[in-house]
Amino acid sequence: MPHFEVVIVGAGPAGSIAAHTLAKNNISCAILERRKSPGFPVCCGEAVSEASLKAAGIFHGSYVDKKIPGFRIFFPNGKYMTVNSPGCLINREKFDRYIFDLAAEKGAKPFLKHRVLSAKRNAGGFEVATDNSNFTCKYLVGADGPESLIDTLFFNNGRKLVDAVQYKLPKTAYKYDSNGYIDFYYDASSSRYMWVFEKSKEINAGGCVADKELLRRFIKKQFGVEESGHAGFCRGKIPAAGIKDKIFDNNVFLVGDAAGLVNPVTLAGIYSALLSGKICAYCIFGEVKLGKANSPGVYEKVINKQPFASPDLKYLASRCFDLPQEVLLFLGEYFDSNDYRHKDFTKFLRLALKYPAVLADIKPLFKLRKLLKSGADKMW
């Protein structure tokens, strides 16, 4: 039975960056992936901030579809607010494969088409059974997505998942002017948001909805035509309850979506996946290479100090998706294609008289502005 210091379940960004970090520090690790290739099928809007990629040390042109200046938030009256935060639209399959290959090049051992069936503790650590072979290890990392088996077996955290669907629309048939940005929409179709991300050859049109008929209606509204042909469709689930109650226990770690590590406002998860994978790897490194026995145990503490764990974000997540229609109309008229830092006190007063309901939501609106100002690049 093969033995590794670390077994990582899942070859998404969190699992592969953890494997890469471990392997380059000469810590033996295996990546178990149930699919035949990492990054497929794609269940992602495929956008990430440039700062996130550079911070992870993996910024590379091979998976970049196009660079973007930031994003726009559209309100029900068709007006929008811009957030200038440089980023990239990526090819997610190439992105996942790139990190996976980096890990393998450094010595991590990949095992594709290995579906984990069970995992249990033994005298030396853990025994992990797959539908192909069994493994033993001292440390076990669950990077197996929002419906994590490792979570179920060792933590059994509660889950709150949001459904999401997306079409890839060919630009030969659908016209859209993004002015280089990616666009989010407050729309009656979704209790969260919808999106349109214009890539170089296709458009990712999706939303936080379970029924793809709602997405078709949104597409008709934005593009003026029925959805009649697409280059791909995907369906997935997004963790929406914030960091899970327990993400570490006696050498078992949860990272990325498996740990609930997405930004609770934007629901973006690539940044937090990369960061948590690296933090997990360095916590293991601290014990294996530096002899610090308490190093793995600080993982939860370090994660809870990261930007995506901010109490302000949790507060905003509880408020920003149920803003009254009157407040959304106020925001559209106030910003009217301007940047989120736009200030016009006279206009604010005039619109507050027109939409007095906004006064009850001043606190979350100012908190959002403060968070964007201090770290928009870490929001997605």
> pLDDT digits over 189-232, tens only?
999 999 999 999 999 999 999 999 999 999 999 999 887 788 89
CA 232 to chain centre: 20
**Least trusted range by pLDDT, from 10-24, 38-52, 74-88, 346-360:** 38-52
- Structure confidence at residue 374 (pLDDT): 82
Contact between residue 160 and residue 240 where contact means Cβ atoms under 8 Å apart: yes
pLDDT confidence tier of residue 255, bands split at 50, 70 and 90: very high
The two structure tokens encoding residue 49 = 């901030």
- Structure confidence at residue 39 (pLDDT): 81
Quote the pTM value: 0.95
- Structure confidence at residue 251 (pLDDT): 98
pLDDT average, residue stretch 316-335:
94
- Structure confidence at residue 241 (pLDDT): 84
Share of the chain above pLDDT 90, in %: 84
Distance CA 233, CA 365 (A): 34
- Structure confidence at residue 332 (pLDDT): 98
Share of the chain above pLDDT 70, in %: 100
Q: Which of 26, 42, 32, 27 is nearest to 11 (CA)?
A: 32
- Structure confidence at residue 280 (pLDDT): 98
3-state secondary structure of 72: strand
Distance CA 32, CA 18 (A): 13
Contact between residue 23 and residue 17 where contact means Cβ atoms under 8 Å apart: no
Distance CA 18, CA 378 (A): 19
Q: How far is CA 181 from CA 74, 156, 266, 310, 371, in A?
A: 12, 39, 16, 26, 20
CA 116 to chain centre: 23
pLDDT confidence tier of residue 43, bands split at 50, 70 and 90: confident
Task: Evaluate if residue 40 carries a pLDDT over 80.
Answer: no
The CA R_g of the chain, rounded to the nearest whole Å, is 22
Q: Which of 45, 377, 77, 327 is nearest to 195 (CA)?
A: 45
Higher pLDDT, 43 or 183: 183
Averaged confidence pLDDT in the chain:
95
- Structure confidence at residue 226 (pLDDT): 82
Q: How many helices (H) and strands (E) does the chain have?
A: 11, 16
The DSSP code sequence of 147-189 is T-HHHHHHT-----EEEEEEEEEETTT-----TT-EEEE--TT
- Structure confidence at residue 370 (pLDDT): 87
pLDDT average, residue stretch 134-143:
98
Task: Evaluate if residue 373 carries a pLDDT over 90.
Answer: no
Task: Evaluate if residue 376 carries a pLDDT over 90.
Answer: no
Task: Evaluate if residue 310 carries a pLDDT over 90.
Answer: no
Distance CA 103, CA 302 (A): 23
Task: Evaluate if residue 41 carries a pLDDT over 80.
Answer: no
pLDDT one-digit tens code per residue, 92-128: 999 999 999 999 999 999 999 999 999 999 999 999 9
What is the set of domains in the chain, with CATH numbers? 3-46+91-160+240-309 (3.50.50.60), 161-239 (3.30.9.10)
Distance CA 5, CA 29 (A): 6
How are beta strands 116-122 and 125-130 bridged, if at all?
A: antiparallel
Contact between residue 78 and residue 16 where contact means Cβ atoms under 8 Å apart: no
Q: Which of 255, 257, 256, 260 is nearest to 244 (CA)?
A: 260
Q: How far is CA 346 from CA 113, 328, 334, 353, in A?
A: 62, 19, 10, 11
Could you tell me what percentage of the chain is helix, strand and coil, using 3-state DSSP and rounding each to the nearest 5?
35, 25, 35
Contact between residue 191 and residue 180 where contact means Cβ atoms under 8 Å apart: no
- Structure confidence at residue 290 (pLDDT): 97
- Structure confidence at residue 2 (pLDDT): 96
The two structure tokens encoding residue 127 = 């025994």
Question: For residue 93, which phi and psi values (nearest 5 degrees)?
Answer: -65, -45
pLDDT average, residue stretch 323-352:
96
pLDDT average, residue stretch 271-296:
97
Question: For residue 22, which phi and psi values (nearest 5 degrees)?
Answer: -65, -50
